[in-house]
Structure 1
Amino acid sequence: MKRKKKTALGLLAAAALLVVTACGSSNNAPSNEGGAEATGTEPFTFKVFSGDVNNEWDHMESDIGKYIKEKTGVTVEQEFPVGGNDGEQISVMIASDEYPDAIMAKGNVTKLVDAGALIDLAPLIDKYGPNLKKVYGEYYNRLQYSKDDPAIYVLPHAGVGQTYFESGGGFQIQHQALEAAGYPEMKTVQDYENAIKSFIEKNPTTEDGQKRIGLSLNGGEWQFLISVTNPAFYATGAPDNGEMYVDPNTYETIMHYQRPEEQEYFRWLNHMNDIGLLDPESFVQKYDQYKAKIATGRVVGLIDQQWDYAQAENTLKSEGKFDQTYARFPITLNESYQDHSFQGTGYLGGYGISITKDAKNPERIIQFLDYLASDEGQVLVNWGIEGVHYDMVDGKRVMKPEVQKLKATDGNTFKKTTGIGNYFLSARYGDGVKDPSGNYYTTVFKDQIVAEYSDADKKTLEAYGATTYRDLWPADDAFPERPYGALWTMSLETASEENVIFQKAQDIAKKRIPEAILADPSEFDAIWDTFQKELVEAGVDKVNKAYTQKVKERIELWSAK
């Protein structure tokens, strides 16, 4: 144990977002060709392709990684997308009909299902997955692929029984800008704009002479959806449904860019560009360039998700520049809207891990995933090892001070050296769920969140009468639960006419939306009208009808007893 204590801060890297919705042909039965026995702890290695790049993956060389290998005999080898494009690599796999043992395919599951690449996990779960069934509980039927194909192709990564104690999205602004403005009201885009503008006017350059950037968007790569288009949902009072808007009363869907409300949101971004507050490189910069700008402290405002900019913000924390890190707010177009980020979905299937038809020993893989879903496994992947990362104090798990400090000040190093949060590969309980001892399975609960805040965070939150950033958003019961979950977990058939149209519409949006934002304000409406016309001419109505049908089928499937 002494050795482990010495290496407690030399652990593994965050493999956390290894989540992918994987699905496959229901006639693919599990095989054990060339594999070891399904039981036991004999050394066994399986390969996983993860759709999300994890720069902090530790190759199971951390204390937690070594513990897992010793406990299960299993070594996980992860492969990540070259250049960050998971879709291209998955297409190559499909073309060659060769796959790794497991895959986390994100939005490419339907392609894999159509190719017959994934096996039905239900028989394996029935035989080897008691903990998996326990975690999913009453939502187990939601893992079924569709009404016509009830096979289980994906073990979703989303936490079951999730309570949202924290918010990682919204509109971000540096603490120093808020303090300089006297912590003004932050509810609308006008409030947000005023605070950025005021700070830039008084502080046009950083201490080292770099020109400050008012607002930068991560719109040069796939995060265009996260940083540019998804915020149009939230700013105009709608929940995230991928690229579609679902009428809450009729469940009719349209491509969300077709909403007049969103035109006004993008008009505001056009205005921000016109007055020189929008980073002109927002739609051409690479992800590394975006993070590098943030890490300098020169970007006053972001519209993003914290997981997307966290690495850069952690650099600022490691340098003690906490006033240049970000507060988060539920900003809307005007006060007639409420941010629907936390509108309930019930438990969502979708992104997670799948086993492919080429897996050498799917039984052993399921056993491994079942261990991670056990009470012991859940505590391990969230808290680490007792005596190394946390202690039991009066019956409560308490993170060790040195581990807590590292987590609060240098999240990048924390994930790579502790491995905590790096093994979310299987079913898991959500925040707010307690284990048999009465402790939370995860480290995301109010007291722990507050313990990780910097003094700058606490000062800002106090000014706005809040304890956590989540307190600034509407309450959990502010909106009715969506009976279909979320449309972004649904995909069109790969070879369908509707999917071809959908992809074309995406290309149109990625061209026209930046063009409209960067145009002279006098040209905005004409460009937007052209955009809408091109969507209709591309046949977007067929996409709208196809998704409307999927939403209604999902409601029927999930409501079935």
Structure 2
Amino acid sequence: MSKKANKWLLLLALSFVIILTGCKKDSKEVTRNEDGLIEFTLFSADPHSQWDNMDSPVSKVVEEKTGVTLKPEFDVDGGTQKIALMVAGGKYPDLIVPKGSAGTLVDAGALIDLTDLIEEHAPNLKKIYGDYLSRLKWSNDDEAIYVLPTSPIDTEYFSPGHGVGLQHAVVKELGYPKIETLKDFENAIKEYKEKNPTIDGQPTIGLSLLADDWRIMISTTNPAFWSTGAPDDGEYYIDPETYEATMHYKRPEEREYFRWLNHMNDIGLLDPESFVQKYDQYLAKLSSGRVLGIIDDDWEFADAQRALRDQGLEERMYGLYPAQLTTETKHAGFQQTGYLAGWGISISKDCKDPVAAIKFIDFLASEEGQILQNWGIEGEHYEIVDGKRVISEEEMQERNTNANYSKKTGIGVLKGFTPVYGDGVLDSTGQTYTIASPEQIKDSYTDVEKEVLSNYGVEMWKELYPSEEEFPVKPWGVSYNLQIPANSDLALIEQKALDVVKKRIPEAILADPADFDKIYDTLLKELDEAGVEEAEKERTKLIKERVELWN
């Protein structure tokens, strides 16, 4: 064959290689929007009531800095079913915030190992995690990093996250009675309700609970351990000495907590709609100002607090008190857990540009990104005065009263997609990253709050609670953020158990007091039949493995 022919064949072969390479490149080409930004799809297992469509001022700055925008899908049911469908179909969004379903994705090979990406492209992630990087390893057998945890790092908690909530108007009218036990809480509600059978022309409600789907745990069942001196480990109580896991409903003291709720219903102080109302109905009811008491986490009723404040109903806002079933226990809300590696954000195997994805997350973790997500934009949401960030009174008022402040400004909208510095951590200028120093928190209180706290002899709600120094640090973190594959035997047993709880706990609370023990015994029997003893053994094993891994 001639040299000319050989040259022609070589060019032909190279053309095929170029064509094939081009096709391969095109098939993996990233999606860009009309502005030329890389558009990453994202699935989050949690809803996002403040999502801004990346149209807010802060999100626009993030787009400009990173060249990335997000096209998200937010679930309302915890993500388990949607993620199972993803696995069945074998197709995944670029970014996933799987909450407790990361194990399902890892087992399916859906998530990429981020170790090298962090080392090569994410200096801010390395800095923010610091010594906690070792906690990001998946297991003793698999040291890959599949999840970037998004819980606050080195946070110092300045406000209680859970308690019994009582309107300021109640304690003011009753002369600031002690609220140390549930009986104190009950007596305050009862006395005020008898004196004020209506509020603004509507019947006064004593205590309202929420049991809308998974939220039943937050307002109805979790308070059983909070009110009996145990910390939050999801559906379990973990023995601090042996690490043995017990489904917390089996604790005798928790039976007595639910008996107290049964009593509250029997004497007419429990909202009869507690177990049928939806979340938006619950918030609307609280925002009306006619619900005297709640038992809830601060984040769940925060929108109602803002709505009451916006209406000028400061006296109808709630203070949180660490009331216990008896004086023999103390509220463990401030017990330290160490850094909570576990739930966070992942990059899927289908992500077309993992480097751009990790750089996007890395920017959010940077000092600039953290300040944007906490303070906003200089000159628009805060000013620099004598080298310090200062928020005007008008802007702080807007922060505290506008229920859509995050959506409007973009401040905090992307915080769930990156690790964040916790309250009290200082940036390079010596200021806290978050708007949550003790001084800032006290400044954010209404005059009514300050009056109430002063009459209880404290300046902050935290001071009513046992301090973190009164508890040992939990070496396993928390049980609820262990990653359990959705199709595992453990997950199936726990779902069966939760179905039993959702049925029997409301039934026991609403029953005639004479029938309470019979129904509660049925609850325990059905939990055993669901396989809870086996689940407890498996949880215990996982807890012990985590302690070993983290040590």
Partner of 1:384 in structure 2?
376
Alignment of 1:3-18 (within 5 A): none
After the TM superposition, which residues 464-483 of structure 1 pair with which residues of structure 2 at under 5 Å, given as runs? 464-483=456-475
- Distance, in Å, in 2 between the alignment partners of 1:416 and 1:495 is 36
Counterpart of 1:396 (choices 388, 402, 425) is 388
Alpha-carbon distance, 1:538 to partner: 2.2
Residue 113 of structure 1 pairs with residue 106 of structure 2 = yes
CA contact (8 A) 1:344 1:481 kept: yes
Q: 2:413 aligns with which of 401, 416, 422?
A: 422
Change (3 A) 1:380 1:32: farther
Q: Deviations over 1:35-83 (max 9, x none)?
A: 469xxx96211121122211221112111111111121111222212x5
Deviation at 1:255, TM superposition (A): 0.5
Matched pairs, number: 524
**What is the rounded CA distance, in whole Å, between the counterparts of 2:470 and 2:277 in structure 1?**
37
Deviates more, 1:84-93 or 1:196-205: 84-93
Give, as a single letter, the amino acid of the residue that structure 1 aligns with 2:119: D
Matched residue SS, 1:314: helix
Instruction: Show the counterpart of 1:86.
Output: 79
Percent of aligned pairs sharing the same letter:
50
Please identify the structure whose Cα radius of gyration is greater: 2
2:164 equivalent in structure 1: 171
In the TM superposition, 1:406-421 aligns within 5 A as 406-410=398-402, 412-421=403-412
Aligned-partner residue type, residue 533 of structure 1: K
Deviation, structure 1 residue 497: 2.6
Deviation at 1:388, TM superposition (A): 1.2
Pair 1:47 & 2:47 matched = no
Alpha-carbon offset, residue 369 of structure 1: 0.6
Tell me whether 1:253 sits opposite 2:253 in the alignment: no
Q: For residues 380 and 140 of structure 1, what CA distance do their matches in structure 2 show?
A: 24
**Equivalent position amino acid for 1:43 in 2:** L
1:218-233 alignment runs, 5 A limit: 218-233=210-225
1-side partners of 2:336 and 2:447: how far apart?
A: 32
Cα deviation, residue 84, structure 1: 4.5
Task: Give secondary structure in 2 for the equivalent of 1:307.
Answer: coil
DSSP 3-state at the match of 1:170: strand
Partners in 1 of 2:243 and 2:384 — Cα distance?
Answer: 49
Structure 1 pair 552–438 and aligned structure 2 pair: CA distance change class (3 A): same
- Tell me the residue number matched to 2:361: 369
Q: Which segment is superposed worse, 228-237 or 494-503?
A: 494-503
CA gap 1:553/1:344 in 2 versus in 1, 3 angstroms: same
The match for 2:518 is: 526
Specify the code of the residue in structure 2 equivalent to 1:165: F
CA distance in structure 1 between the partners assigned to 2:168 and 2:361 by the alignment: 41
**Deviation of 1:460 (Å):** 1.2
Q: Give the Cα separation in 2 of the matches to 1:63 and 1:495.
A: 42
* Correspondence list, 1:68-87, <5 A: 68-81=62-75, 84=77, 86-87=79-80
Q: 1:138 aligns with which of 131, 139, 150?
A: 131
The answer on whether the counterparts of 2:45 and 2:74 sit within 8 Å (CA) in structure 1 is yes
- One of 41, 51, 60 as aligned partner of 1:66: 60
The CA distance in 2 between the partners of 1:35 and 1:206, in whole Å, is 61
Asked whether the 8 Å contact 1:188–1:332 carries over to 2, the reply is: yes
Q: Secondary structure at the match of 2:398?
A: helix
Mapping 1:196-275, distance limit 5 Å: 196-207=189-200, 209-275=201-267
1:499 corresponding residue in structure 2:
491
Residue of structure 2 equivalent to 1:508: 500
Shift of 1:549: 0.6
> CA contact under 8 A between 1:343 and 1:476: conserved in structure 2?
yes
Structure 2 unaligned segments of length 5 or more: list them: 1-24
- CA distance in 2: counterparts of 1:32 and 1:184, whole angstroms: 70
RMSD over aligned CA atoms reads 1.8
Question: Could you tell me whether the CA contact under 8 Å between 1:408 and 1:453 is conserved in 2?
Answer: no
When normalised by structure 2's length, the TM-score is 0.92
Cα distance in 2, alignment partners of residues 481 and 422 from structure 1: 31
Rounded to whole Å, the distance in 1 between the matches of 2:214 and 2:431 is 38
Counterpart residue number, 1:307: 299
2:452 match: 460
The amino acid across from 2:207 in the alignment is L
